[in-house]
Amino acid sequence: MYVAGCDVGSLSAKAVIMKDGDVLASHVIFAKPEPEESAREVMGKALEKAGLTMKDIAYCVGTGYGRDSIGFADAVESEIVCHGKAAQWLMPEVHMVIDIGGQDAKAIRLDDTGTVIRFAYNDRCASGTGRFLEVMAGAMDIRLEDMGDISLSATNPLSISNQCVVFAETEIISLINAGKNLADIVGGLHKSLAHRVAALARGIELDHEITMTGGVAKNAGMFAALEEALGVKLSKMETDPQIIGALGAALIARRAAEKDG
């Protein structure tokens, strides 16, 4: 039996196809202007990898901010539930998930079954999101994917005082013009973002065994900065952390398909 999950976010879209409890294929693309277009393209790519068509999929669950635009989904679920379900499925010891997405950040506490028992999120300001890093990368004229490695080479991360993205961008440009070390600027940005996310997590009390999901989790500098801000060692996923929402949606689809069958 084939099931699928499709996660359409603000910056990227992800799809996962599962067969009998195993991941058969996955794919990630940059988001298109229309969520429906993103969903169709990313699912088409995943289906192509699996050698399947949508007719082969017994059940599909959509998630992410664009979930209501996924026309081929049989049901939709919140990304909070999906990230929690997939994280605990992959790592049963995990009881807290921190997801830094393109437009929000979330801290999620789980019970032993992966059910969400508490959560907190920030979607009112880009300063605690992946969008913050994207804007700053543009201001410094560096690639977003290079920021992590640059950050890790910082010897004296600078303090970034402004939390607002607009003012922080101005501050960064001023630091560059003042001849400050690029690695120390990038390190300071990661440290600033990490402390904001850590405060969000502490708001629902830190639990044992914490992992990080979402595309920002692939940023080694951000991962290290968050560990430092939380004062704990994070459990690192072997699975691509960017597909966790789609994987959780596929797991929920599998349960629904088994129930219907």
Domains located in the chain, CATH noted? 1-91+242-261 (3.30.420.40), 94-236 (3.30.420.40)
Q: Looking at residue 125, what is its pLDDT?
A: 62
Q: How confident is the model at residue 8 (pLDDT cuts 50, 70, 90)?
A: very high
Contact, 60 vs 72, CB < 8 A?
yes
The yes-or-no verdict on residue 148 having pLDDT over 70 is yes
Q: Give the helix ranges, DSSP H, for 69-212.
A: 79-90, 130-140, 147-152, 165-177, 182-202
Helix (H) or strand (E) holding 239, with range, is none
C-alpha 219 chain-centroid distance: 11
> How does strand 105-110 pair with strand 57-63?
unpaired
Report how far apart, in Å, the C-alpha atoms of 248 and of each of 15, 31, 48, 87, 230 are: 10, 19, 21, 8, 25
Cα-based torsion angle of the residue sequence 240, 207, 63, 33 in order, rounded to the nearest 10 degrees: -70
Paired residues of 204 in beta bridges: none
| 82 token code pair | 């999906």
Q: Looking at residue 124, what is its pLDDT?
A: 61
pTM of the model: 0.92
